[in-house]
Chains A and B, each alone.
Chain A
Amino acid sequence: MFRFTLRRILQVVPTIVVVALLIFVIFSVVPGTFAASLFADGKRAADPQMIARLNEEFGLNKPLMERFVTYVTDLARFDLGTSFRTRQPVVDLINDRMGASLQLAVAAMAFAIVVGVPLGFLAALRPGSILDTVTMIGAVSGLSMPQFWLGLLMMYLFALQLNWLPSFGYGDGSLRNLILPAVTLGVTPLALLARTTRAGVLDVLNADFIRTAHSKGMSEAKVVRWHVARNSLVLIVTTVGLQFGSLIGQAVVIEKLFAWPGIGSLLVDSVAIRDIPVVQGTILVIVLWFLIINTAVDLVYAAIDPRIKQE
């Protein structure tokens, strides 16, 4: 187990290095300089002096190789650069926003697991029942729905019409402010979890060891708790891990919709004003976060299912 853990953790390093290189390449091959687009407001051309000053300050006019070396050495010291706009270190900007984003992501995933897994489980135990049909129609719909639209409709209904919940903002971290964004963000993983859980449980129910358990006189409840639940867990854990990627992506839109002060809305705002150091840094942090979660999921996976690590 120790060797497996170590190997899996070490695999993250090359991936994150390549992602960092990829981000540098994407933002360096761009036609025209960022300084020019930063000051252009669409009405008049940017002041050449301002562009020159910014290029000078951020070393944007240095040769590509030199900029690359600076980028890599800064990264190695966990320095993500300085914002074009506010002149604050990108690391500080991200640190300020990290808590709110984590809170939202964890709340959304918790909601999806708490509702989605039992629904899928019950649907599988009674295939063809009304609950099963409704769950599956709901799951297919949830996967095809633009989440931000659902969020908009819920904001209209629960915040503006019924006045039950605040319509947007962080509200000093109060739980009432968290509910709408978390439910909105949790809908897609919920739909997928319900569907995967159902499929996984149905597979397990048809397995030979379930028939054996039944034939040796084990009670129905015990079979479900002892064999079915444990064996479906692997699939559920994998789904949760894979879903974190799209959840983090979607969080960007949901944070913007509900004016949630996380790194997602920081990213969108920075893209809009072309504050490239912040965009680069935010993306890198998001990818790192995603890789850490996936590695953790793999480790949990191996701990649950001893067949995995013997590959």
Chain B
Amino acid sequence: MRLGFNFWLGATLTALVILAGILAQWIAPFDPVLDADLMSSELPPDATFWFGTDGQGRDVYTRILYGAQISLTVGIVSQVINSIIGVTLGMTAGYWGGWWDDLVNGLTNVMLAIPSLIFALAVMAVLGPGLPSLLIALGLTNWSWTCRIARSSTLSLKSQGYVQAAQTLGYGDLRIMFTQVLPNMMGPILVMATLGMGSAVLSEAALSFLGLGIQPPFPSWGSMLTDARQLIQLAPWAALFPGLAIFLSVLGFNLLGDGLRDSLDPHMRTRKP
């Protein structure tokens, strides 16, 4: 496996986000919510407040470190839900075929017909704002591509010798799927999940920016931008840095995913639309 520059850049950025999230409570100089002080609001970046302060005098740097926790939670949990749904449906559809395959295919096509941010918005409209609703909304949104890949991988793995050997030995369908098929398609699934983390973080930011995701005063990068928008004339740094954090972490996930894909399968560089 040869990993290029892009992969290492992506891995570094991802590692930085993870470190920021884990170490936030030790390295952050202030409290993200409680250290609000109107006397020190809208201060430009200096030695005390590295990224300046926002409209309520809270340290932007501190809030960005804590924001990494929310972005990572959303990215990881939603992609675990996505992968479980996508793999379960895609693998069983590919393995069993027949009416179940038709049903799963139909469902996938319907999901692909709904723009993912619109679907997430609909789920948020029903469940109301907050982190748990976000995790459910984004977890239910983006499984269609994973499902398609799991299905096509299963179809090709089904004709492999070791799967047919397991069938001859009289193994049950589920046992074959989980011990013979699944381990052999983990690579592409992992790539999809990594790339999916990027889009989940972007969707979370967008939903929180619209006031439908994480609610203030909790420091989500998206909701920080909502606050900053009102004061952009007075404190442009409060808008610059949270967006930069979103951009760099999504860039990290995307480069990592692309790098993994290229090294796993240099011939079939599927272009994700």
Q: Which residues of A contact B (CB under 8 A)?
A: 14-15, 18-19, 22-23, 26-27, 29-30, 37, 140-141, 143-146, 148-150, 152-153, 155-156, 160, 192, 196, 199, 238-239, 242-243, 245-246, 248-250, 252-253, 256-257, 267-268, 271-272, 274, 276, 279, 283, 286-287, 290-291, 294
Residues A156 and B232 in contact, CB atoms below 8 Å apart: yes
Report how many A-B pairs have Cβ atoms within 8 Å. 134
* A153-B239, A249-B118, A252-B121 known; A268-B212 Cβ under 8 A: yes
Residues A253 and B206 in contact, CB atoms below 8 Å apart: yes
* A144-B250, A153-B239 known; A253-B209 Cβ under 8 A: yes
Residues B247 and A145 in contact, CB atoms below 8 Å apart: yes
List the A side residues contacting B124 at CB < 8 Å: 271
Q: Can you list 26 pairs linking A and B with CB atoms under 8 Å apart?
A: A14-B106, A15-B110, A22-B110, A26-B123, A30-B126, A37-B128, A144-B198, A144-B247, A144-B254, A145-B250, A146-B202, A149-B205, A150-B243, A152-B225, A153-B239, A196-B271, A246-B116, A248-B118, A250-B117, A253-B117, A268-B121, A271-B124, A271-B212, A283-B121, A286-B118, A287-B114
The smallest beta-carbon distance between A12 and chain B, in angstroms, is 9
Interface residue? B3 (CB, 8 A): no
Interface residue? B255 (CB, 8 A): yes
Interface-central residue, A14, A249, A276, A294, by most chain B CB under 10 Å: A249
Other contacts beyond A19-B114, A144-B254: 14, CB < 8 A: A27-B125, A30-B127, A140-B255, A141-B251, A145-B247, A146-B222, A146-B246, A153-B243, A160-B232, A248-B115, A256-B210, A267-B118, A272-B211, A290-B114
Interface residue? B113 (CB, 8 A): yes
Residues A155 and B254 in contact, CB atoms below 8 Å apart: no
Interface residue? B122 (CB, 8 A): yes
List the A side residues contacting B210 at CB < 8 Å: 252-253, 256, 268
* A27-B126, A144-B251, A152-B239 known; A272-B118 Cβ under 8 A: no
Interface residue? B25 (CB, 8 A): no
Residues A286 and B115 in contact, CB atoms below 8 Å apart: yes
* A140-B254, A149-B243, A246-B116 known; A199-B271 Cβ under 8 A: yes
Assembled-state Cα–Cα distance A276/B121 (Å): 12
List the A side residues contacting B118 at CB < 8 Å: 248-249, 252, 267, 283, 286-287
List the B side residues contacting A19 at CB < 8 Å: 110, 113-114
Interface residue? B48 (CB, 8 A): no
Which residue from chain B places its CB closest to the CB of A250 in the assembled complex? B117
The smallest beta-carbon distance between B11 and chain A, in angstroms, is 15
Interface SS, A side: helix
Assembled-state Cα–Cα distance A98/B30 (Å): 47
Which residue from chain B places its CB closest to the CB of A242 in the assembled complex? B273
Interface residue? B175 (CB, 8 A): no
Closest 10 pairs (CB-CB, A-B): A149-B243, A249-B117, A249-B115, A144-B251, A242-B273, A144-B250, A271-B125, A245-B115, A30-B126, A253-B206
List the A side residues contacting B228 at CB < 8 Å: 152
List the A side residues contacting B121 at CB < 8 Å: 252, 267-268, 271, 283
Q: Mark B250-273, 1 if CB is under 8 A from A, else 0.
A: 110011000000000000000101
Size of interface on B: residues with Cβ below 8 Å to A: 45
List the B side residues contacting A267 at CB < 8 Å: 118, 121
List the B side residues contacting A160 at CB < 8 Å: 232-233
Interface residue? B109 (CB, 8 A): yes
**Out of A37, A238, A279, which one reaches B122, CB within 8 Å?**
A279
The smallest beta-carbon distance between A252 and chain B, in angstroms, is 7
Assembled-state Cα–Cα distance A196/B242 (Å): 29
Which residue from chain B places its CB closest to the CB of A272 in the assembled complex? B211
Interface residue? B130 (CB, 8 A): no
Which residue from chain A places its CB closest to the CB of B125 in the assembled complex? A271
List the A side residues contacting B106 at CB < 8 Å: 14, 18
Interface residue? B45 (CB, 8 A): no
Q: Mark B202-244, 1 if CB is under 8 A from A, else 0.
A: 1001100111100000000010010011001100100110110
The smallest beta-carbon distance between A200 and chain B, in angstroms, is 9
List the B side residues contacting A146 at CB < 8 Å: 202, 205-206, 209, 222, 225, 243, 246-247, 250
Which residue from chain B places its CB closest to the CB of A279 in the assembled complex? B125
List the A side residues contacting B246 at CB < 8 Å: 146, 149
List the A side residues contacting B122 at CB < 8 Å: 23, 26-27, 279, 283
Which residue from chain A places its CB closest to the CB of B116 in the assembled complex? A249
Residues A15 and B113 in contact, CB atoms below 8 Å apart: yes
The smallest beta-carbon distance between B199 and chain A, in angstroms, is 9
Assembled-state Cα–Cα distance A218/B123 (Å): 57
